[in-house]
Amino acid sequence: MTRLLLQNNIFMNTAPFKIVTPDGVIYEDDITQVSIPTETGEITILPKHIPLVSVLKAGEMRIKKDDYVVELAVSTGILEVRPNGEISVLAETAERAEHIDIERAEEARKRAEKLLEEYKDVEDVAYIRLVAKIEKELARIRVAHKYKK
């Protein structure tokens, strides 16, 4: 079955794509491209991409299937492009732009920034977690504002 799907994907110029979080599968479909924020910058993965493993950075992910685009806010995680062409994203969180509550995201960012002011030791694990939380909330806010326009 997988072999047949891959053969069809080669002819249709799509790649099997999946986003998984601790809550389960967030998105799964054959896609024409995906743009993903990584620690080294944004990358765009097309069908037949070479195998790759990369670390996700909090930001905006854009998934294209033909002319349809899905925008998501993602946090930290791992991207893997397998030799058979499958693209997998394992993320701490992934949220569609239309589902983001901007007020809630702003409040969470403000709470994290307030807590961050109390930390003096930038090597502290709690400090690093707060910085990651702020980056995640900022990504959610940017994606939601872009979608709402």
Are the C-beta atoms of residues 32 and 14 closer than 8 Å to each other? yes
Q: Which CATH superfamily is domain 2-97 in?
A: F0F1 ATP synthase delta/epsilon subunit, N-terminal (2.60.15.10)
Identify the CA nearest to 30 among candidates 11, 52, 53, 55. 11
Within 13 A of 60's CA, how many CA atoms are on the CB side? 15
Token code pair at residue 35:
């743009």
Identify the CA nearest to 113 among candidates 134, 136, 137. 134
Is pLDDT of 53 > 70?
yes
Q: Give the domain ranges of the chain.
A: 2-97, 101-148
- pTM of the full structure: 0.76
Q: What is the mean pLDDT of residues 91-98?
A: 92
Q: What is the pLDDT of residue 113?
A: 82
Task: Quickly state the pLDDT bin for 12 (edges 50, 70, 90).
Answer: low
Task: Quickly state the pLDDT bin for 114 (edges 50, 70, 90).
Answer: confident
Torsion of the alpha carbons at 136, 137, 140 and 146, rounded to the nearest 10: -120
Helix (H) or strand (E) holding 90: strand 87-91
Helix (H) or strand (E) holding 135: helix 125-148
Q: What is the pLDDT of residue 58?
A: 92
Alpha-carbon distance of 127 to 125, in angstroms, equals 5
- Give the lowest-confidence range in 11-20, 52-61, 112-121: 112-121
Task: Quickly state the pLDDT bin for 6 (edges 50, 70, 90).
Answer: very low
